[in-house]
Structure 1
């Protein structure tokens, strides 16, 4: 009578396994979030931590698993005969082809059982394995699902395999590795979400362009008063400064082409005498935006935003609007950057006659003009 060999119960649902899954998911989630957030907010230490933490955690897991692997390696494997019920090549990109075997294993001191295994077989040796053929296998007695075909058995076992006639057993005797279980997968997913959320919450101020901690006034939104030279009226402006960028928004009736307006705005973003370097400076009618270079990155193509020829900006806008034939500009924008090595100031105006643009150097001298008619 055939004896049924049951699949071992799930071992990943124990409290220790679930705690390990939660910790693993947390490390993975926090590391991925650190890489993304570190890139967005240009925080080099956070980005490096996203690479180092999972590496260290993987090393610790490897070291912690060494005693278990040593115990498993010390287990004496059993040798038995097995009947090939079926075989199928999984793929064949190289000389060693992964082959999926369905075997009936017949131990000398226990009941027969069915098991599935995948093993690399050389193309030259593949004809030696055929359905209903008998092979010699080895497996650890406590983990029979880890059965492996012995490619070169000892002469006694080779003679036994050549003369043996084994009968198949029912598929109900199939053994398999214990399932991971739902609890372990849920713990990994929960840890992944918690780890990512923790990093995002810790750096939410830099990530979303605001600072919730107690910092000096330049790091929070502030309102100041200024007098427009064209209207001679008092209007408000809003300044927002973070570690990565700064913006100044003028009130109604004001313009950054007004005399001295840009200088005061840039001074408020750079904290007076602070020599903060910028990657780009973008100026519109009532909006000034500065993207600052990351701290500790001397190789970035940055420049001092206070050194721009702001007194030349009104003339550049006028030249782009009139000399290039765009008519009275409806909108205009000035961009300063030095991504190509030298400082470039680009002016783009849009009016009834189309769009016109020009480029100037760091002194405000025009070096290139262009115009596009509607």
Structure 2
């Protein structure tokens, strides 16, 4: 291959620009779908955000495998070069990145000028000086990938010690080509378009009032001066304000209805009631697990059950209580646990609030 002296390689080819645009699109799409999936709690979107860059990387690896195999099969050429200039460009370790500008003089090809960046150990840095002759290797078809040989063979080491290399005029080829402003703009454009494409394709999952086809309401938050409600597809919570309790008349019923309004068919796996907090874990649509209608709780019996647990279970100085309702046994069961300085106790009742058994510390 004939190398014109000082002729820089061609960068920013259409293939390079297209690759930069595609890479930006994959990055934008992956980040958008992953973050969106986390926000709306959709596992398929999260998995897509993780798998997409991996698939793209695999396709890129396979697509470039033949080219890299051809490049690896090229036997590098060895030549003498003179250091026109050198400059350390940073580094805080024992290996310092150094920018070299070299005039390379092959034995059987035209000389050329090239600029490279190569790590040099601090101990070896004094061995390199301006107008010093070094041994280099480079692929004949890619001379801008020239590298200084740190441990040349004795024959080439002797040639470098006594040889002289003339400077090559003209611009230097770059070993680290950059995509330029236009390439960077194309990558940014691809990133933005990838994000927009995800928002358009998955708008039903990200923005609609229902998630997919399940009919479950999207996450929503509502608040008032007295309580705050948070509802997602799997869970709903109501937090009361200061000075309020779920044992107040009508408070528990109102809290449950605030989580189930507009969703008459929704069933619950578990309902947990504490003094100022209600948590309802909803049953997935179509699931065959034991579930119940959270509105079927015996609201009027809850304050009495809590008071009975506080006074009859032998717990000294009861400090907190918790009522748990579930249908694991096939029918609705209420369990009231009381905790105090003297231990814990539990009272169990049926769906009508009738006490079935007691256990204390």
Q: TM-score range by the shorter chain?
A: 0.5 to 0.7
Q: Could you tell me how far apart the structure 1 residues matched to 2:257 and 2:266 are? A: 12
Q: Could you tell me how far apart the structure 1 residues matched to 2:273 and 2:122 are? A: 61
The correspondence of residues 192-211 of structure 1 with structure 2, limited to 5 A, is: 192-208=191-207, 210-211=209-210
Other-structure match for 2:113:
114
Other-structure match for 1:6:
7
Deviation at 1:29, TM superposition (A): 1.3
Q: Are 1:9 and 1:179, in contact at CA under 8 Å, matched by a contact in 2?
A: no
Q: 2:172 aligns with which of 167, 174, 197?
A: 174
Q: 2:261 aligns with which of 265, 268, 284?
A: 268
Deviation at 1:305, TM superposition (A): 6.1
Q: Could you tell me how far apart the structure 1 residues matched to 2:273 and 2:97 are? A: 55
Deviation at 1:43, TM superposition (A): 1.3
Q: Are 1:278 and 1:290, in contact at CA under 8 Å, matched by a contact in 2?
A: yes
Q: Could you tell me how far apart the structure 1 residues matched to 2:272 and 2:128 are? A: 67
Q: Are 1:42 and 1:294, in contact at CA under 8 Å, matched by a contact in 2?
A: no
Structure 1 pair 64/360, CA: closer, same or farther in 2 (3 Å)?
same
Q: Are 1:90 and 1:98, in contact at CA under 8 Å, matched by a contact in 2?
A: yes
SS in 2 for 1:97: strand
Deviation at 1:148, TM superposition (A): 0.6
SS in 1 for 2:268: coil
Structure 1 pair 43/163, CA: closer, same or farther in 2 (3 Å)?
same
User: Deviations along 1:90-135, whole A, 9 cap, x unmatched?
Assistant: 3454443332222121222344332221222233333322222111
Q: Are 1:41 and 1:207, in contact at CA under 8 Å, matched by a contact in 2?
A: yes
Structure 1 pair 37/305, CA: closer, same or farther in 2 (3 Å)?
farther
Structure 1 pair 99/10, CA: closer, same or farther in 2 (3 Å)?
closer
- The normalised TM-score by structure 1 is 0.60
Q: Could you tell me how far apart the structure 1 residues matched to 2:22 and 2:274 are? A: 44
User: Deviations along 1:203-261, whole A, 9 cap, x unmatched?
Assistant: 44453462398886x759xxxxxxxxxxxxxxxxxx9976367799xxxxxxx965854
Q: Are 2:234 and 2:284, in contact at CA under 8 Å, matched by a contact in 1?
A: no
Structure 1 pair 93/261, CA: closer, same or farther in 2 (3 Å)?
closer
Deviation at 1:79, TM superposition (A): 1.6
- The normalised TM-score by structure 2 is 0.62
Mind listing any 5+ residue stretches in structure 2 that lack a counterpart? 219-228, 239-247, 286-292, 305-318, 324-335, 342-361
Q: Are 2:101 and 2:116, in contact at CA under 8 Å, matched by a contact in 1?
A: yes
Q: Are 1:262 and 1:310, in contact at CA under 8 Å, matched by a contact in 2?
A: no
SS in 2 for 1:173: coil
Q: Could you tell me how far apart the structure 2 residues matched to 1:49 and 1:279 are? A: 34
Matched, 1:243 2:200: no
Deviation at 1:81, TM superposition (A): 0.9
Mind listing any 5+ residue stretches in structure 1 that lack a counterpart? 221-238, 249-255, 297-303, 316-357, 369-374
Structure 1 pair 292/48, CA: closer, same or farther in 2 (3 Å)?
farther
Other-structure match for 1:361:
322
Other-structure match for 2:36:
37
Other-structure match for 1:126:
125
Aligned residue pairs, count: 285
